[in-house]
Structures are given as C-alpha cells and as structure tokens.
Structure 1
Amino acid sequence: MGELTRGESGAVERLDAARMLARVERWCAINSGTRNLAGCSAMAEALADAFAALPGEVTLVEPGAAESVGADGSVAALAHGHHLRATVRPEAPVRLLLTGHLDTVYPVDHPFQTLTWREPGVLNGPGVADMKGGLALMLEALLAVEAEGARFGYDVVINSDEETGSFSSAALLAEAARGKVAALTYEPALPDGTLAGARGGTGNFSIVVRGRAAHAGRNPADGRNAVVAASALALRLHAERSPRLAVNPARIDGGGPNNVVPDLAVLRVNFRPADAGEIARAQALVERAAAEVAAVHEVSVEVHGGFNRPPKPIDAGAARLFELVRASGADLGQAIAWRDTGGVCDGNNIAACGVPVVDTMGARGGAIHSAEEYLIVDSLSERAALSAVTMLRIAEGALA
C-alpha cells in the first residue's frame, strides 16, 4: 500500500463488501435482457431506488428513437427501456461522468437465469460481471466518497441498450458528457484486473435488396435474383477487409420456394474500423458497392445503418487518466495494466465527445456473454476502492 490521504483512507474503510454482493445477487435475479422491456423496467426501478441514496436528482429518461430492419425489408420503430440518470452538484467546478448499463445479453427465455457458486469467491450468473457487479461497486464507491464529504459534481447514466449498440441512449450519453473533466465506465475488467485501452469502432448495416420474382423453370431470365445480388454485395464488401478494417457479412435474410426467383434479400454486415479514416473508407465502399451491384444485377439497393461507435484512441487526456488510475491502484496495492482491444462499448461514444474515459472500471470476471459468466467477488471491494480513490484525486485536481 502506498500513501493515501485521510479522506481516501476513510472512503476505502467505508466500503461494505456484503452490501455490494447482496446488490449483485438481488439485481441478477431480475432478467434484463435488452428486449425484455418489462425486465428492464423492473431493473431501472430497482436502480432508481438504490441510487436515491445519493444526494441530487434521480430520473428515469425516455429512450430516444431507434429503428430496426426486418427480414421482410420493412423498417419499424424499436422500443427500448428507460435509462437512469442521476445528477449531483451540477454547479460544481469539477464534474465527472460515471456510466453503466442495466441490460444483459440473456433474453427472458434464455436457460441461463440463476446464480451458482462455482467455488468459494467465484459467482456464476447472468450479468454478474457484465455489468451488475460493476453497478454495485460504482454505487458503493459513490456512497463512500459522499460520506467523506465529496465536493465534486457528477452525473450517472445507466442505459438499457448498451448490449445492442446504445442507439436509444447515444444522445443522452453525449449530453451528459458535456463539461465533464473525465469519465469512468463500469464494464468488467479482465480476470487479472487489466483495463481496456484503445478500442476500434463499429458499424452495423442492413442492406435491403429488391429484385423481381419469376418462375425458376418457365421464365427465370425475367427474374432479378435478390439473393444472388446480396451475395455479390457481401463478397465485394468482404474483399475490402484489411488489418485496419474488419468486414463481416454476417447474415442474409431472404429467399423462398425453390421454384421462385427470390425478389427480396436483406444483407447484415458489421464493420470494425481502426480509426476515422477507415470509417470514411468503409462508408464510401458501401455506397460504391451498393451502386455497382444495383446496376449489374438490375435490382434496387437500400442501405440502412451506420457507424454507431467511433474508434477510441488513447490520446494525451486518456493517457493522463490511465496513469492516474494506475497510480491510485498502486497506492491500494493493486497492479493495474491496460491493453488495446477490438471490443466496443459506451466508452467509444464518450471519448468521441472529447472526454477522457477509462471504460473497464467494473469488477474482475470473465466468460461474459456466455452461460459461464463469472464474477470474482473479492474484486467488488478492490474496484470500489480504486474508483473512490480515483474520483477523490480527480476532484483535487490530479488531471488539471
């Protein structure tokens, strides 16, 4: 352990491990798969009750507009659950943003619904690491610094759609990031505590191809095969992949009886650009390939979607924040490292607003997005202490 101030030591001593674990167990009993709107509502209400222990105002925010493209090519509004926002001391000269998500990847009918102790200190369950454990320790850290007389301001945003791209909460995150000196996001760390550094971006597209139906035996030449055209488009896009731009044509919806030339197909494609230049290249690629396929195959092509998470580089501000977190960890006896990752999260969106962010301040755990997901329970106290000390040091001007 290194040197902690009296306030830092006091905050760490106030952390209650049993209370954090109880929150995790209680919250993980609520299925809050993104599309389970009733479950997300129940989870949002539970969080609102818990975060009401903080000073300031807690509100449940209506989701923004979002849409989806169906397998039939139709575009429909996509409903989401409410997002939580807590605002404390908005007039303070130093203000932080803390973010998390209440949704999980496990639908209401998924078989993975219960908690199991894999071994002493290791809890298996839906959302234990990603990220209900992170929400539990975020709240505990805030309660601890408040008890020590915190003077900095902060907003907490917990959205209901992070696992599907944050389409209905992106505007809320951008608004909440305004004027903040730094942000902490509570995605899980790796099992050894390693943080995510730079992240690539991501974009998702649904491309609707409409051709002309015809009898496959009597007059196939009169048809315009939408599945063939969508396949040609997928191949063109995939051929442009590079070490700095991953292109994954993931699915083609469409087709029908074997004796009918299909007149509809929907191609789903994911891009992973390394930087803003690759986003521009990918956007131009989609436009060019769509026009070429439409002309060659005599079909119409409608492009829906875009790049919802920009790449997150480690700039000078982010490097200073990482160093502060590392030093705080060292003074707590925690070795903190970081490494770049291909995954994305709300940290991408926050960094794009010009706010330094560390986006893996959550619990240590692993096997997320699977029925093997687990939480290392001791990390609740470790990471809550790391958050508390980091926040107190930012409040004292460590990033100035």
Structure 2
Amino acid sequence: MVVSPETGLRYVERAAVERTAAAPSLERTCRWAAVNSGTGNLSGLSTVAQQLADAFSTLPGDVRLVPPAPAERVREDGTVVALDHGHHLHLSVRPQATRRLLLTGHMDTVYPVDHPFQTITDRGDGTINGPGVADMKGGLAVMLAALEAVEAAGSAIGYDVVINSDEETGSFSSSALIEQAARGKLAALTYEPALPDGTLAGARSGTGNFSIVVRGRAAHAGRNPENGRNAVTAAAALTIMLEQAKGPRLAVNPARIDGGGPNNVVPDLAVLRVNFRPKDAAEIARARAAIDAAVAEIAATRDVRIAVHGGFNRPPKPIDPGAARLFETVRVAGADLGLAIAWRDTGGVCDGNNIAAAGTPVIDTMGVRGGAIHSSDEFLIVDSLAERAALSAITILRLAENGL
C-alpha cells in the first residue's frame, strides 16, 4: 500500500478526496432543493426524480424509476383510502461483484407545496438555509460526489442506490424495495444529515404508528343519551390505557383524536392516532399486547366497535458487531481526513432501521452537517459537502479493498 506521508491516505484516496472537493455539490443541492418535493407533491417529486435520474446516470449501471408499492391511510371519517406516492430511483452497478454495498437516501421533504418555506438563502456565514438542503438534498449531492470519486479511482466494488420518495412519512411504498436491495450487501450507507458538529446517529429506537377507529352509536344528548355509545369518550379512555404502557424502553405518544360533532349529539365516531417508540423487539411485543388488551377492554366495557390500523414500520436498530465494525471503518477514515467521528444513540428513525432489520450493517447519517431540519430554519454547513463526500469515498474504497 502506497501511503501519502502528509495525510496517512493512500495516493488513490488523496485523488478521491481532491475529486470530491471539485464536484459541483453545492450547485446540485441548490438545484434539487429549488423544486418543492414534499411527500404529497407528486408533480414536484416527478421533476426531482428525473433530475436525480439524469445526475446519477453518469455512473455505470442502469437507473430505473420504480413505481410505488400500494399504501393506504385512515381518513378522519374512519374510511381507509389508497395513498399516492411518487416513483423511487433505483440504480444497480456491478451486480455480480463479490463485494456490494447499498447507498440510500430520499428525495421527499416535509414541506408541502403550499408551505411558506420555499426559498434558498445564503446566510453569508458558511451556511445556506432552505427546504431540504440538509434533509436531504445535500446528502444526495454528497452520495453522488463520493460515488463519482470511487468510479474515477477504478474501484470494482458493486453497489445499489435507492432514493425513495416517501421516507418522511414512513417509507410505506418503498420499504419492500429497500429491504430487497439490502439483502446480501456487505454494508449500507444512508445520507441523513449528521449533527452540526458531525456526530452520527448510533442505535435508534423503532417506531409504530396506529390509527384506531372507534365506532359507537349516535343519540340525542338531552333526550336519550343512554341509548348512545360515545366514541370520543371511548377513544379518550383508550388513550389513557395505552399511555400507561410507556416505560424506560417504550415511549407512547397519543397524538390526536379526530371525531365528534354538534354538542347535542352523542358522537358515534372517533379516530385515535398514536405513536410508539420501542427500543428493542421485546418492547414491540409488549406494545402489541397493550394495544390488544386495551382495545378488548374498552370495546367490552363501553359497547363500541374498534378497528386497529397500522403497525411497527421501523424496527429498532441496535449497534450489533457488524455495525460496530462499520462505525470503526468510518471512524478511522475520518481520522485520516483529520475528522473526529463520534456517534450517539437517538430516538429518531429512518430507513436505516429497515436496512438493519434486513441484516445489513448500516450507518445512516453519512450526509451533510446541518441542523434545524423539519423547520423553516433548516440549514446546511457548506464546507461539509466536500468533507462528507470525502469521508464516504474513503470509506467505500476501504470497504472495497478490505471488506468489513
């Protein structure tokens, strides 16, 4: 191995670093972020998907725009309807390679087409402010710059790229695509933003989202209330029971109750929305048991019908031995670049949860350094575009040569 005496990097790695620094990552980020791609904006998602397909077509392999899998949601009136999503991008490079990686990101943002936050602003302090610049149009630019540098280095590693259009709402129409792409991979890198100081996410809690439809019986609130079955109070009682399941390793957040009507009518419909955050598989089982028990008790004692919709769409992501080895690879690559790479556990979730559940070691915050995501103050630290692209490129080159 030929090593540069100045940095501890091999010369081929130094060349990769130089190439990532020269990539038009800021221009790409601003171009992609200028198009609103809120999860529900199918027109904007279509535009961004084509922009990304054109950009990633400079890599070898075939770029496909994959139709979304069926997904559904529960409306405020308790009916279940199909939920439309945009297409997902899938690129496969050297599928017969001995060592293969998965790189994932998302093109959607949390800002709908009518949101007031639509403009990119250069703050003059080394950051830009704009919708999705950190989460994660900047991350997609980092991914592309890193892969271009890896290709220029002549690496023979194989990889799949999946960029979905529905990550911000749970990846319901793309989770099967991600799971399939993750199987058999040596490791995976996902381009969610790191914290402003560069800290990465370690272990993650899982998440489960439920819409629980309670159907009672309407009656006149003054003349014959005893003939009614109040769905709102039943949903409220269900809320209290479910909240009692929370513990040190299970967060429970009843977020909303839809239902009710005129004051003189006993309401016959309510929809409870509740989120669970389990830290391990045992807590998923405990949460499911709590839901079943609460539903059975409230249905029996209040004479209402209850239907439970939803599930645990993001399994918990532990740091297992494979993930620990991958973190060490990234840490050493960072050290050779003069970066101190640290990580800490988080209650947030992303596609990294699903990748880990497929048995593939993953680091899911390989994107830019930034912050205030999901708000109008979202920002990206511009220098981190080249910095994080270099970190990815060195990590990929070393995985190609040494494995995990």
* Maintained 8 Å contact 1:17/1:380: no
Match of 2:288 in 1: 283
Match of 1:163 in 2: 168
What's the offset of the Cα at 1:119? 2.4
Match of 1:192 in 2: 197
Of residues 20, 36, 48, the one that matches 2:41 is 36
* Maintained 8 Å contact 1:142/1:388: yes
Q: Secondary structure at the match of 2:398?
A: helix
The residue type equivalent to 1:369 in the other structure is H
What's the offset of the Cα at 1:398? 3.9
Question: RMSD value over aligned CA atoms?
Answer: 0.8
Match of 2:227 in 1: 222
Match of 2:144 in 1: 139
The residue type equivalent to 1:253 in the other structure is D
CA distance in structure 2 between the partners assigned to 1:251 and 1:17 by the alignment: 48
Q: Does 1:338 align with 2:343?
A: yes
Percentage of pairs with the same residue: 73
Q: Secondary structure at the match of 2:155?
A: coil
Q: Does 1:153 align with 2:158?
A: yes
CA distance in structure 2 between the partners assigned to 1:33 and 1:19 by the alignment: 24
1:206-285 to 2 correspondences below 5 Å: 206-285=211-290
CA distance in structure 2 between the partners assigned to 1:240 and 1:166 by the alignment: 26
Where do 5+ consecutive residues of structure 2 fail to align? Answer: 1-5
CA distance in structure 2 between the partners assigned to 1:48 and 1:251 by the alignment: 38
Match of 2:62 in 1: 57
What's the offset of the Cα at 1:14? 1.2
Q: Secondary structure at the match of 1:32?
A: coil
The residue type equivalent to 2:220 in the other structure is H
The residue type equivalent to 1:257 in the other structure is P
The residue type equivalent to 1:210 in the other structure is R
* Maintained 8 Å contact 1:312/1:348: yes
Q: Does 1:394 align with 2:381?
A: no
Q: Does 1:14 align with 2:22?
A: no
Match of 1:360 in 2: 365
Instruction: String of CA shifts for 1:325-368, please: whole Å, max 9, x gaps.
Output: 00000000111000000100000000001100000000000000
The residue type equivalent to 1:248 in the other structure is N
* Maintained 8 Å contact 2:32/2:48: yes
CA distance in structure 1 between the partners assigned to 2:185 and 2:115 by the alignment: 38
Instruction: String of CA shifts for 1:218-256, please: whole Å, max 9, x gaps.
Output: 000000000000000000000111111000000000000
Match of 2:312 in 1: 307
CA distance in structure 1 between the partners assigned to 2:72 and 2:258 by the alignment: 18
CA distance in structure 1 between the partners assigned to 2:115 and 2:22 by the alignment: 29
The residue type equivalent to 1:289 in the other structure is A
The residue type equivalent to 1:208 in the other structure is V
* Maintained 8 Å contact 1:230/1:252: yes
What's the offset of the Cα at 1:17? 4.7
Where do 5+ consecutive residues of structure 1 fail to align? Answer: none
Q: Does 1:78 align with 2:80?
A: no
What's the offset of the Cα at 1:18? 6.0
* Maintained 8 Å contact 1:34/1:161: yes
* Maintained 8 Å contact 1:2/1:330: no
What's the offset of the Cα at 1:387? 0.2
Match of 2:127 in 1: 122
TM-score computed with the length of structure 2 as normaliser: 0.98
The residue type equivalent to 1:322 in the other structure is F
TM-score computed with the length of structure 1 as normaliser: 0.99
Instruction: String of CA shifts for 1:6-29, please: whole Å, max 9, x gaps.
Output: 221111111245610000110010
Match of 1:69 in 2: 74
Paired positions, count:
399
Q: Which structure 1 residue ranges, 4+ long, deviate > 2 Å from structure 2?
A: none
Match of 2:384 in 1: 379
CA distance in structure 2 between the partners assigned to 1:171 and 1:145 by the alignment: 28
CA distance in structure 1 between the partners assigned to 2:214 and 2:19 by the alignment: 59
Match of 1:23 in 2: 28
CA distance in structure 2 between the partners assigned to 1:233 and 1:304 by the alignment: 15
Match of 1:324 in 2: 329
Q: Does 1:349 align with 2:360?
A: no
CA distance in structure 1 between the partners assigned to 2:73 and 2:240 by the alignment: 24
Q: Secondary structure at the match of 1:396?
A: helix
* Maintained 8 Å contact 2:99/2:403: no
The residue type equivalent to 1:269 in the other structure is V
CA distance in structure 2 between the partners assigned to 1:326 and 1:333 by the alignment: 10
* Maintained 8 Å contact 2:186/2:403: no
* Maintained 8 Å contact 1:324/1:398: no
CA distance in structure 2 between the partners assigned to 1:161 and 1:132 by the alignment: 14
